[in-house]
Structure 1
Amino acid sequence: MQFKHPELLYALFLLLIPVIVHLFQLRKFEKVAFTNVAFLKHVVLQTRKSAQLKKWLTLCVRLLLLAAIILAFAQPYTSKNNSFKTKNETVIYLDNSFSLQAKGNKGELLNRAIQDIISNVTENDKFTLITNNKTYKNTTIKSLKNDLLQLGFSSNSIPYQSAFIKAKTFFSKQNNTKKHIIFISDFQKNSDLPNIKPDSVYKSHFIQLKPVNINNIAIDSVYISQTTAANTELTVLVKNTGVTIENIPISLYNNDKLIAKTSVSINKSANTTFTLPTNTIINGKVVINDANLSFDNTLFFNINKPTKTNILSINAANHSFLKRIYTSDEFNYTATKTNELNYNLINKQHVIILNELETIPNALINALKGFTSQGGYLVIIPSKTSNTSSYSGLLSNYQIVLNGLVENEKRITSINYNHPLFNNDVFEKEVKNFQYPKVNSHFNTTLKNGSSVLKYEDGNPFLVQSNNTYLFLAAINSVNSNFTNSPLIVPTLYNIGKNSLKSPILYYNIGKENNFDVVTSLQQDDVLKLVNNDINIIPMQQYFNNKVSIKTTNLPNQSGIYTIKSKTETIKNVSYNYNRTESNLNYHDISALKNITSSNSITKIFDTIKSNSKINALWKWFVIFALVLLIIEMLILKYFK
């Protein structure tokens, strides 16, 4: 037992006063003469004994009464620890990812968790609440209740380890506080469980919300599997967690018009194909009907009118290999000679190729510097007889130094598979042995800024990149090299052309960094917007002469088809979808975690925390005891004869 005001216990010394008074018997007795005392002696003896007993009983009762009053004012209490002097700090992580749409015993998991938090957190206790997309610091359930009831699902899910580390940052550095982390999630296997070390400062409580069943069907992805002159085949991949489904309908819409419908049987995964007319603009969505998770029942996509990349080749050598790569269905390819170059064409291009020029005129150097600074891509193929000092005037702008020519045969054997030119399914696997192309002579280089894309067998670079400039270090005409006949020529130059203008793809995933280009001309201070009904977003964008590069990360955060607009002009559409990682309803077993308290009930965890810090106030019992003693004293004085 402990006391809130232990200093009041000194008042117990006052109990000595009635004891002293009783012992010294300060009251004086008078003698009364009586003729015959023989009979009274017996009565006097009995009366003195009764009076003495009554006094001792009264003394004891009064001492206990006074002691009870003093102890009541000292406010005694009991606790499992020194809770009266210790403050609580609580941080709650509430996982509001889409997997919490699953149904539990009492309804949707997230809604049930919100109700349990509201019911179990004391109204005026301060705590910090973290979700996947919001943070409420040092708040109370009273002020947070409305926000909690309106809390929606987040398209961005935080890895469990990151969420745990983030939760710990909200605690103070005080040592006399009890710190509790309450981690509420379904603990899907798409993220590793946090590594929790023994810690006397923090107490971790993990609550796993479990659905009634783990059956879920999701539209995993949509892609174009084949394109012909007349038709485009659109393949839909559907995945299933749970029992086999014999017949699941799949509907395809263009805008809100149903244009095709089919059904598939699915165990773990299945796909189906829809045939669409080629060169038709489609604002599409694929829809299934599944009663479990709803966020993955729809996938939006766009097939826009293709935008061709503008390629300008300035030639002093044969350019037939360029014409074969940059075909008219995807590129606007223009070829010219240096003395016939129309400089007005430069700012309209996305890629400019210098094909084995011996010298580069100063006017062209200045034009190319401006072109690359505006986001244009430059490919430089030197000639065996190129004037290196002339090239230095251009290459110095990209921190590349072209050294002298070396007459030495070398093979091109090394591919940088991590480079953006080759990391998008160009190769099914890393090729270690193939028909290596070779060169008969080459230039050496000093690369101050950039990376090697292709290398010789001795590790020196054959193709280097610095920002959006690519430099071949050897002439690739048929006399000096067989590179134009090798399998590497097509993916290398084709992807340079494609990367120069990143046209929007079928769809993007929300929560990831997405980049695409829009071919348009904007007036000063104009911006592009992404519009979907009432949603109006101005994304990060950079304007160049002939395109606008757009980057999106956290926004938009709702799936759908967004229209790219400049003022009231509609340019094209782009689709965003929720990431499908939440669709797989497989869960960790948190009972294997050490150094935590685990449960599947929010109420149980809060009850445990409250019981550990509960203070049992006893002063009321001492007041009641004092009242009882007062009644006993009155009864003794009145009825004890």
Structure 2
Amino acid sequence: MQFKHPELLYALFLLLIPIIIHLFQLRKFQKIAFTNVAFLKKVNIQTRKSSQLKKWLTLLLRLLALAFIILAFAQPFTASKTALNSKKETVVYLDNSFSMQAKGANGPLLQRAKQQLYDEATGDSKISWLTNTTQQKNTSIQDFKSAVLETPYVAKQLTPDEVILKANQLFSKDVGSDKRLLWISDFQSNGVPPNVPTNISVEAVQLQPQNFNNVSIDTAYIASQNASTIKLNVSVSAMGTTPASVAVSLFNGNALVAKSAVDFSAKKENTVTFDVDANTVFKGKLTIDDANLSYDNSLYFSINTPKKIKVLSISESNAAFLQRIFDNSEFEYVAQTANQQDYNAFSDQNFIVLNELESIPNSLVTAVADFVTKGGSILIIPSEEGRLQEYNTLLNRLQVGNFDGIAKQEKKITQIVFSHPLYKDVFERQVANFQYPKVNAYYPTSTNATAALKFEDGKPFIIQQGSVYVGTAAFNDGNSNFKSSPLIVPTLLNMAQQSLPITQLYYHTGVQNTYAVPVNLVQDEIVTLKDSVSNFVPLQQAKANKVLITTTDEPGIAGIFGIENNGTFLEDVSYNFPRSESNLTYLDVGDWQNVRNYDSIETLFDTLTEENSITSFWKWFVIFALLFLILEMLVLKFYKN
């Protein structure tokens, strides 16, 4: 027991006064003559005993009454150390990720959590709180209750360490304050248990769904394509107890195009295939019916009118291999000879190949440098008879390095840099028994550029610096058999395709995406992304004949967006939420160190209320003081000597 005014307890010494009075108050009995002496002695003894008992009983009751009055004024109470600390800070983390759409006993986990927070949050103190995408510091309880009901689902989920880090940013630097983090989540498997600082008390409420069933559209991709038809593969997965089959619907805009069923009787992951017209713009939407998580029941994609990648070659050697590689519907290929160069055509190209030119005049150096500066890509294939000084002038202008002089030595091209963007997804596995091509002569190179292909001794055969690719040896049949190697097709195709990174079927929200839109913009013109209800201006960089668009946080919703320039439609781009939230597996918070676990928000707030409550007893002491005074009056009135 503790006292609000402990200094008043010194008044208990006043209890000595009635004790002293009672001890030293002497009462003499008068002698009265009576004939029966024995009877008088007996009466005298009984009277003395009765009088002493009454005096001690009265003394006790007075002492108790006075003591309880003094204790009442000292205001006794009981409270925990937390309750006594006047400096309290509370941070609430509410997990609003898509996994919180799972159904609990009283509906979706997030909706129930928001309502319980609204009902339980009381008082007039300030509170800080955060979700996976927002945070607020020192807001009033009323503002918190209003905002928490409007908290939407988001695709992002913070890891446990990120939650602790962001909560620390909301707490003050006061070492004497009691810091408490209320962590409300389903604790979906996302990272490892956090390192909880010793100055923070973590109270965790793990919300659990009633079942762990879910069906998800994971991805869609083009399996094959010809002049008339695109075969679209759709991957669908299931977990928990699911139906034997689930219907998948394909829409073009709002029109239902096709419907198929995915079979889950044998395995939990399966694929269905749809045929899509390759000659039409397709605003695709795939849907399934699943009563559990709803965010992964649809997937958007867009197929635009194919944009031809413009490729120009300037050759002083046989360029038939370039004609064979780029002579298809994906490219618009133009060939020039060294004697018929048209620099004015550079501005319309996406990819230029300088094929074994013996001479590179200053005018060509200037034109190529300007082309690269404006966003174009180029491949330089040197000639064995090339003028070294002119080549180095071009390479230095492009900041690639320089050739050290030709070395006539046979070398095999044995090292493929599989992690290089040119070969990403080209090989299913890293091959070791490859039929390696070779060269008879090459140019040793001084460069800091990245190598994509290397000789057997580790020296580079093809290097990349930004949008500039350089071969260190001639490709002609007299010097190399690289043109006959299977490597040349993916190498040159990917160089050209990456010169104009056209939009994919779809992108994920919340991550950085970069793609190009082939459009010529005049000064101060911009492109916008627009759907039926909103529009925004993405980060963009205008090049000579394209615009590079980069998106990160926006858009924050899934759907199909039109790319427009001054109201003119250019093409569509689609975004979908990542599917990481579809995996309904959870961490066990009971195993976390320095974390108290609760089964509901009500239990959490009841416990906190109890721990923060101060129980006062002064009223009881006043009641007992009055009771003892009444007992004293009764003793004095009715107790006979």
Q: Is 1:145 the counterpart of 2:178 in the alignment?
A: no
Determine the structure 1 residue equivalent to 2:251.
Answer: 253
* 2-structure distance, mates of 1:503, 1:73: 82
Deviation for aligned residue 1:38: 10
Give me the CA root mean square deviation.
2.8
**Do the aligned partners of residues 216 and 319 (structure 1) sit closer, same or farther apart at CA in structure 2, a change above 3 Å counting?**
same
1:605/1:392 CA distance change after superposition, 3 Å? same
1:433 alignment partner in structure 2: 433
SS of the equivalent of 1:442 reads: coil
Write the distance in 1 (CA, Å) between the matches of 2:83 and 2:163: 28
Work out whether 1:628 is the aligned partner of 2:627. Answer: yes
Answering whether residue 68 of structure 2 is matched by residue 76 of structure 1, we say: no
Question: Would the alpha carbon gap of residues 180 and 37 (structure 1) be closer, same or farther in structure 2, given more than 3 Å must change?
Answer: farther
Q: TM-score, normalised by structure 2?
A: 0.92
Q: What is the CA–CA distance in structure 2 between the aligned matches of 1:251 and 1:361, rounded to whole Å? A: 59
- State the match for 2:524 in structure 1: 525
Could you say if the C-alpha distance between residues 20 and 580 of structure 1 is closer, same or farther in structure 2, counting changes exceeding 3 Å? Answer: same
Match of 1:544 in 2: 543
- How far residue 129 of structure 1 moved from its aligned partner, in angstroms, is 2.0
Cα separation, 1, equivalents of 2:350 and 2:576: 29
Quick check: 1:390 aligned with 2:386?
A: no
Q: Name the structure 2 match of 1:171.
A: 171
Could you tell me how far 1:381 is from its partner in structure 2? Answer: 1.0
CA 1:25–1:38 in structure 2 vs 1: closer, same or farther (change >3 Å)? farther
CA distance in 2, matches of 1:431, 1:610: 65
TM alignment of 1:53-72, pairs within 5 A: 53-72=53-72
1:271 correspondence with 2:271: yes
Summarize the Cα distance change of 1:142–1:65 in structure 2 as closer, same or farther, 3 Å threshold: farther
Q: Residues of 2 paired with 1:37 and 1:526: CA distance?
A: 135
1:345 paired residue number: 345
| Cα distance per residue 1:220-279 (max 9 Å; x no partner) | 111111212221111221111122423422211111111112223324022221112222
**Displacement of 1:477:** 1.1
Deviations 1:255-306 (A, max 9, x none): 1111112223324022221112222111110111111111111111101001
Look up the match of 1:106: 106
Deviations, residues 381-429 of structure 1 (Å, cap 9, x unaligned) = 1111222221222222314122111111111111111111111x10001
Q: Contact 1:86/1:176 (CA < 8 Å) preserved in 2? A: no
- Using the TM superposition, give the Cα deviation of residue 82 of structure 1 relative to its aligned residue in structure 2, in angstroms: 6.2
Q: Report the counterpart of residue 561 of structure 1 in structure 2.
A: 560
Contact 1:218 / 1:240 at 8 angstroms: preserved in 2?
Answer: yes
- Check conservation: 2:121, 2:141, Cα contact below 8 A: yes
> Mapping of 1:598-637 within 5 angstroms?
598-637=597-636
Q: Residue 374 of structure 2 corresponds to which residue in structure 1?
A: 374
Please say if residues 360 and 390 of structure 2, whose CA atoms lie closer than 8 Å, have aligned partners that are also in contact.
yes
* Preserved contact between residue 92 and residue 182 of structure 2 (Cα < 8 Å): yes
Aligned to 1:535: 534
Cα offset for 1:307? 1.0
The offset of 1:142, in angstroms, is 2.6
Q: Distance in 2 between the 1:375 and 1:638 partners?
A: 111
Q: Which is worse superposed, 176-185 or 505-514?
A: 176-185
In the superposition, relative to structure 1, how do residues 61 and 509 fare at CA in structure 2: closer, same or farther (>3 Å)? same
Q: 1:254 to 1:112 in 2, by over 3 A?
A: same
The answer to whether the Cα contact below 8 Å between 2:164 and 2:194 also exists between their aligned partners in 1 is no
Report the Cα distance in structure 2 between the residues aligned to 1:104 and 1:439, rounded to whole angstroms: 67
Tell me whether 1:408 sits opposite 2:409 in the alignment: yes
3-state SS of 1:62 partner: helix
Q: Matched residue of 1:245: which SS?
A: coil
1:579 paired residue number: 578
Aligned residues of 1:514 and 1:553 also touching (Cα < 8 A):
yes
CA contact (8 A) 1:164 1:194 kept: no
Q: Does the aligned pair in 1 maintain the 2:127–2:144 contact within 8 Å?
A: no
Asked if the contact 1:187/1:193 (under 8 Å) is kept, the reply is: no
1:564–1:574 contact (8 Å) kept in structure 2: yes
Q: 1:338 to 1:41 in 2, by over 3 A?
A: farther
For 1:381, the aligned partner's letter is I
Contact 2:417 2:453 in 1 (8 A): yes
The amino acid across from 2:392 in the alignment is S
**SS of equivalent residue, structure 1 residue 404:** coil
Distance 2:70 2:282 in 1: 85
Structure 1 residue 346 displacement after superposition? 1.4
Name the counterpart of 2:234: 236
3-state DSSP class of the match of 1:206? strand
Identity %: 45
User: Contact 2:215 / 2:290 at 8 angstroms: preserved in 1?
Assistant: yes
- Structure 1 residue 125 displacement after superposition: 4.3
Please say if 1:355 is aligned against 2:359.
Answer: no
Pick one of 225, 239, 243 that aligns with 2:223.
225
Structure 2 residue 494 is the aligned partner of structure 1 residue 495: yes
How far did residue 360 of structure 1 move?
1.6
Task: Name the stretch that deviates more: 118-127 or 364-373.
Answer: 118-127
Q: Which residue identity is paired with 1:134?
A: T
What per-residue deviation string (whole Å, max 9, x for no partner) do you get for residues 541-572 of structure 1? 11112111111111111111111111211111
* Structure 1, gaps ≥5 residues long: none
TM-fit CA distance, 1:122: 3.9
AA paired with 2:227? A
| Aligned partners of 1:407 and 1:442 also within 8 Å | yes
Residue equivalent to 2:468: 469
- What is the alpha-carbon distance in structure 2 between the residues aligned to residue 480 and residue 366 of structure 1? 29
- C-alpha deviation, 1:104, in angstroms: 0.7
The CA distance in 1 between the partners of 2:297 and 2:198, in whole Å, is 45
Q: Aligned partners of 1:295 and 1:244: how far apart in 2?
A: 17
What is the identity, as a one-letter code, of the residue corresponding to 1:505? Q
CA distance in 1, matches of 2:439, 2:294: 58
Residues 507-557 of structure 1 deviation map (CA, whole Å, 9 limit, x = unaligned): 111122111111112233222111112221111111112111111111111
Q: Please tell me whether the aligned partners of residues 5 and 74 of structure 1 are also in contact (alpha carbons under 8 angstroms).
A: yes
| Conserved 8 A contact 1:64-1:629 | yes
Contact 2:82 2:611 in 1 (8 A): no
Structure 2 match to 1:211: 209
**CA deviation profile, 1:80-135 (whole Å, cap 9, x unmatched):** 54641364433332221111111111111111122233334443344432211111
The residue aligned with 2:484 is 485
- Distance, in Å, in 2 between the alignment partners of 1:359 and 1:286 is 55
Between 453-462 and 114-123, report the one with greater CA deviation: 114-123
TM-score (ref. length: structure 1): 0.92
In structure 1, the partner of 2:304 is 304
Structure-2 change in CA distance of 1:69 and 1:521 (3 Å): farther
Q: Secondary structure at the match of 2:167?
A: helix
Alpha-carbon distance between aligned partners in 1 of 2:422 and 2:277, rounded to the nearest angstrom? 30
- Conserved? CA contact 2:93–2:163, under 8 Å: yes
Letter in 2 for 1:218: S
Retained in 2: the 8 A contact 1:559–1:578? Answer: yes
Output the CA distance in 2 between the equivalents of 1:453 and 1:613: 65
Aligned 8 A contact 1:123 1:140 in 2: no
C-alpha separation between the residues in 2 aligned to 1:97 and 1:415?
41
Is 1:505–2:510 an aligned residue pair? no
CA displacement at 1:188 relative to structure 2: 2.5
Q: Per-residue deviation at 1:212?
A: 1.1
Instruction: Work out the number of aligned pairs and report it.
Output: 635
The answer on whether the counterparts of 2:188 and 2:586 sit within 8 Å (CA) in structure 1 is: yes
State the match for 2:325 in structure 1: 325
Over 3 Å counting, the alpha-carbon distance change for 1:415 and 1:73 in structure 2 is farther
Does structure 2 retain, via aligned residues, the 8 Å contact 1:118–1:141? Answer: no
Matched residue type, 1:421: L
User: Contact conserved, 1:123 with 1:142, CA < 8 A, in 2?
Assistant: no
Q: What secondary structure, in the 3-state scheme, does the structure 2 residue paired with 1:431 have?
A: coil
Cα separation, 2, equivalents of 1:498 and 1:262: 33
